[in-house]
Amino acid sequence: METYDLVILGGGLAGMCASVEAGELGAHVLLLEKQDELGGSTVLSSGYMAFAGTDMQEAAGIIDSTESLLDDMIEVGGGVNDLSLVNTYGCYQLGTYSWLVEHGIEFRALEAVSGHSVPRGHIIDPHQAIQSLYRRVKNFPNVSIRFCAPAKRLLKNNEGRINRIVYDFNGVEQTVLASKGVILASGGFAKNEDLLQQFAPQLKGALRIAGGGNHGDGLMMAWEHGAWMQDLPYLNGTYGFHPTATGAVKSQGLAFYKGGIIVNQLGKRFVNESISYKFLGKAAFEQPEQISYQVWDQTVMDKSVFDDPLYDFELLRRRRLLYVVDTLEELADCIDVPLEVLEDTISRYNQGIQNGEEQDFGRRTLTHNYGKPTPIEKAPFYAFESTVAMLATYAGIAVSAAGQVINPYGETIPGLYAAGEITGGFHGAGYMTGSSLGKAAVFGRIAVQSALVEVII
């Protein structure tokens, strides 16, 4: 039987960081990728990574710290995050940023997004990142990648240790031995309707945008061997997609984090727009016919960021996804809401934020604790019909801070490790932008280190 030290399942960011780490540590590794290419949800992502205290922030005059990053993460996560995972992220985040830079990943800009008290979304081009890691891996004689090779089941040896993987290759079932460990890096289940129906029936009707191979295979393989689950009650979609959005083509805009408001079909606001776009998604789904619009003015439009995955509002305009009008009367007509209600909504909002805090929903900032909203008053006015998409599941199998998969009794499952979106516990009740790619990179490497040195907790 073919034998390796480590077998890694999945070639997204977690699996690729794990492969490079293992390659550098001299381990004999096989990466199995279900699809015919690498990247999973990673290459569809907006590319924001949450790091604090970086040279980029320093150059931009932004004062940030690991402590502030963790505080935000825990606040957004409703205080139910697994603190051992969050603190581990804190210990490794800055080193991981440097590691990624040293391994050729290009960070091109900084923005404040969901959950950030300062701009700390370090933006990568996810394709460039995966390609860069792949180039490294190809140079390691000790690391092999097999494409179109979906893992199917995990098997234990007589001592109860997971040490074999059954997978399909060229239409034939194969079994491979992993003497030091199996690392599950197979992503979430945003493309598995059965699992979504089971665990997130509230998201019926939400768009599904995720890697084509993200069916939760790794979760099921881990469940068979007793893995515990975390964060299932907090499955949420993400707000801000045009209803026609299908996938990689960008049809997302977060004008509300630059000062836009969100109104329902009655022309009324229904939420504090500065909160996490996951919670915005929940609120938007409760509105009549689940329809809502982001509304903004030229002051906000002027903050459009060229080529940014979330803030390029000019791109949305060029793609004819925006209503652009000169008066509120025309705006009300375009989005079919009562004019007098829309005027009242905007006038109350403008008055409120000019007084420092609007009374209806308590908005004081643009995103989380960052930025100051401006009144919506300068024509032309813009509206963007927006809905919710299931992008990333986040709820996942329980792991220790060393990336070992654990059972409901808190015991490790020997030989089994996991990293990336397949793991739960880290985000708690809410997700801070950039923390998912961040955790994939941080914990992908940690899982390898643990497997190779047999960390026992």
Q: What are phi and psi of 244, to 5 degrees?
A: -85, 0
Q: Which one, 43 or 335, has the nearer CB to ligand FAD?
A: 43
Return the SS3 of 408: coil
109 binds ligand FAD (CB under 6 A): no
Residue whose C-alpha is closest to residue 391's, from 111, 93, 189: 189
Question: Is residue 183 within the footprint of ligand FAD (CB under 6 A)?
Answer: no
- The single residue among 254, 371, 434, 451 that binds ligand FAD, judged by CB under 6 A, is 434
| CB nearer to ligand FAD: pick between 168 and 360 | 168
Is position 6 an interface residue for ligand FAD (rule: CB under 6 A)? no
- Crossing angle, helix 83-102 and helix 435-453, to 10 degrees? 90
In the complex with ligand FAD, the residue whose CB is nearer, 17 or 325, is 17
**Contact set for ligand FAD, span 205-234 (CB under 6 A):** 209-211, 213-214, 217-218
Closer CB to ligand FAD, 7 or 337, in the complex: 7
Cα(427)–Cα(438) distance, integer angstroms: 11
Q: Is 254 in the site for ligand FAD (CB under 6 A)?
A: no
The torsion angles phi and psi of 105, rounded to 5 degrees, stand at -80, 130
Q: Which of 20, 27, 29, 32 binds ligand FAD (CB under 6 A)?
A: 32
Instruction: Among 30, 366, 398, 437, indicate the residue that binds ligand FAD (CB under 6 A).
Output: 437
Q: What is the 3-state secondary structure of 67-122?
A: HHHHHHHHHHCCCCCCHHHHHHHHHHHHHHHHHHHHCCCCEEEEECCCCCCCCCEE
Q: Which two tokens stand for residue 188?
A: 């979430």
Indicate the residue among 209 and 322 with the shorter CB distance to ligand FAD.
209
Residue range at the interface with ligand FAD (CB under 6 A); choices 28-36, 96-104, 191-199, 280-288: 28-36
Residue 241 Cβ vs ligand FAD, minimum distance, rounded to whole Å: 9
Residue 401's φ and ψ, nearest 5 degrees, are -65, -15
433 binds ligand FAD, rule: CB under 6 A: yes
How far is 133 from 151, CA to CA, in rounded Å? 22
**Extended beta strands in 192-260, E state:** 207-208, 229-230, 238-241
Q: Rounded to whole angstroms, how far apart are CA atoms 278 and 389?
A: 10
Classify residue 183 as exposed, middle or buried by CB count within 10 Å of its CB (0-12, 13-18, 19+): buried
Size of the site for ligand FAD (CB under 6 A): 43
Min CB(72)–ligand FAD separation in Å: 14
DSSP 191: T
Integer Cα distance of 262 and 272 in angstroms? 9
Q: Which residues pair with 414 in a beta bridge?
A: none
Instruction: Rule CB under 6 A: say whether 420 interacts with ligand FAD.
Output: yes
Residue 46 in contact with ligand FAD, rule: CB under 6 A: yes
**Cβ-based nearer residue to ligand FAD, 218 or 267:** 218
String of contacts with ligand FAD for each residue 349-378, x by CB under 6 A = ------------------------------
Nearer to ligand FAD, 232 or 324 (CB): 232
Out of 392, 413, 446, 451, the residue judged to bind ligand FAD by CB under 6 A: 392
Give the whole-angstrom CA distance, residue 409 versus residue 388.
36
Runs of H (alpha helix) within 103-243: 126-138, 193-199, 217-224
Residue 240 makes contact with ligand FAD by CB under 6 A = no
Candidate ranges 65-73, 181-189, 255-263, 325-333; the one touching ligand FAD (CB under 6 A):
181-189
Counting contacts by CB under 6 A, is residue 450 touching ligand FAD?
no
Of 13-21, 226-234, 355-363, 399-407, which part binds ligand FAD (CB under 6 A)? 13-21
Query: Do 451 and 6 contact (CB within 8 A), yes or no?
Result: yes
Write down the H helix ranges in 308-354.
313-318, 328-335, 339-354
Q: Pick the closer one to ligand FAD by CB: 103 or 268.
A: 103
DSSP label of 446: H
Q: Which of 15, 23, 253, 430 binds ligand FAD (CB under 6 A)?
A: 15
Q: Which strand (E) or helix (H) includes residue 32?
A: strand 29-32
Out of 19, 41, 117, 292, the residue judged to bind ligand FAD by CB under 6 A: 41
Residues of the shown chain interacting with ligand FAD in the complex, contacts defined by CB under 6 A: 9-15, 32-35, 39-42, 44-48, 150-151, 185-187, 209-211, 213-214, 217-218, 391-392, 420-421, 433-438, 440
